[in-house]
Amino acid sequence: MLTTLVLFALSAGAIYFACEFFVNGVEWLGHRLNLSATATGTVLAAFGTALPESAVTFTAVVMGSTPAQKDIGVGAALGGPLVLATIAYAVVGFALIANRRKQQGLANRHEVAVDQRRLSRDQAWFMAIFVVKAGLGLVVFSIKPWLGVLFLAAYAIYVWRELRGGESEGAEDFEPLKIRPKDANPTLFWVALQTIAALAVVAAASHVFVIQLESLGIAFGMSPHMVALLLSPVATELPETMNALIWVRQGKERLALANISGAMMIQATIPSALGLFFTPWLFDGPLMAAAVVTMVAVAFLWSLFRRGVMDTRLLASAGLLYFVFAGYVVWYFS
């Protein structure tokens, strides 16, 4: 148990430390590729940090030799969006509240200073795709596996749309590249090197963190299925949450929220495609509950962003829906 606790703490620290390098590198990478800050968050940062959990889904559904192992992959495909739509947004909300308390002279301490209409469009995209994803979990028909191609196409269209809009941020808005702090405008080689190296550390540390968290859950009496539904998704979405915390600390809430929004689109499409290709993609009670709670959370976010009335307190309250789901899962397995 002591070894597990030590590895748990060290891996969490390594993830945060590596994310510091990753967000710094990915900002410069977006600048070098002439991308807007929003596209940097929704595409580059989100795709990079989504690789570890997508790898978990791929390993479970493609290489899993038992139905239980494949079920873990399907659970990851449903749990990821749930955690992002509830816990991740709530963490940003709480971080913004804490950050604003340190600032003086703000007219509105609870304002979320981003393009809320654009974020509402992201939620609408996600909802349209996720409703289809959830609906397919309730039916059986012969060509269902082939529909995975449509999810991949939907993500490709989303990326194309994101890359078209906005202007690149000025380099003066960035901290110096951490591995080349004296370079006013580091070359693409150094930017890519730092970003890829940091991402590799994030992936490795996330893998260790997930294993230790699962061990702790089982040690405290949780069943493997409960761990897979409640703890593993929180662990695999930790890099996105860490990125968001770092960007909020730097006063870049647009990047923080864009990273979560982009990660949600990845989780709605790529893991779903893998699940459709390699599993029956049929939902039991807890999986359907995860889908329903996710849709409620996204509808809540979409409504507030569309009207431009989202504030830090409402954003933080999104996390309550995760505890509704957790309560259902505990009841279901008790």
Residues 111-121 have pLDDT tens digits of: 887 878 888 88
**Res 16: pLDDT:** 82
Could you tell me the pLDDT band of residue 172, with boundaries at 50, 70 and 90?
very low
Could you tell me the pLDDT band of residue 314, with boundaries at 50, 70 and 90?
very high
Select, from the ranges 2-6, 227-231, 303-307, the one with the highest average predicted confidence (pLDDT): 303-307
Could you tell me the pLDDT band of residue 64, with boundaries at 50, 70 and 90?
low
Is the pLDDT at 19 greater than 60? The verdict is yes
Query: Any idea which of 71-85, 208-222, 243-257 has the lowest mean pLDDT?
Result: 208-222
Mean of all residue pLDDT scores within the chain: 82
Q: Which residue has the higher pLDDT, 232 or 52?
A: 232
Residues 208-220: tens digit of each pLDDT: 877 777 777 777 7
pTM summary value: 0.84
Tokens 């202007």 — which residue? 167
**Res 173: pLDDT:** 63
β partners of residue 111: 311
Q: How far apart are CA 11 and CA 13, in angstroms?
A: 5
**Res 241: pLDDT:** 85
Q: How far apart are CA 231 and CA 247, in angstroms?
A: 24
Residues 264-307: tens digit of each pLDDT: 888 889 888 888 888 888 888 888 999 999 999 999 999 999 98
- 8 A C-beta contact, residue 283 and residue 291: yes
Length of the chain: 334
For residue 138, the tally of other CB atoms under 10 A from its CB is 11
Six token digits for residue 196: 């890829």
Six token digits for residue 227: 């761990």
Distance (Å) of CA 277 to CA 111, 114, 129, 152? 43, 37, 17, 11
Six token digits for residue 74: 């399907």
**Res 33: pLDDT:** 81
Residues 107-144: tens digit of each pLDDT: 567 788 787 888 888 899 999 999 999 999 999 888 89
Residues 35-49: tens digit of each pLDDT: 777 777 778 778 777
Q: What percentage of the chain carries pLDDT values higher than 90?
A: 22
Q: How far apart are CA 265 and CA 153, in angstroms?
A: 12
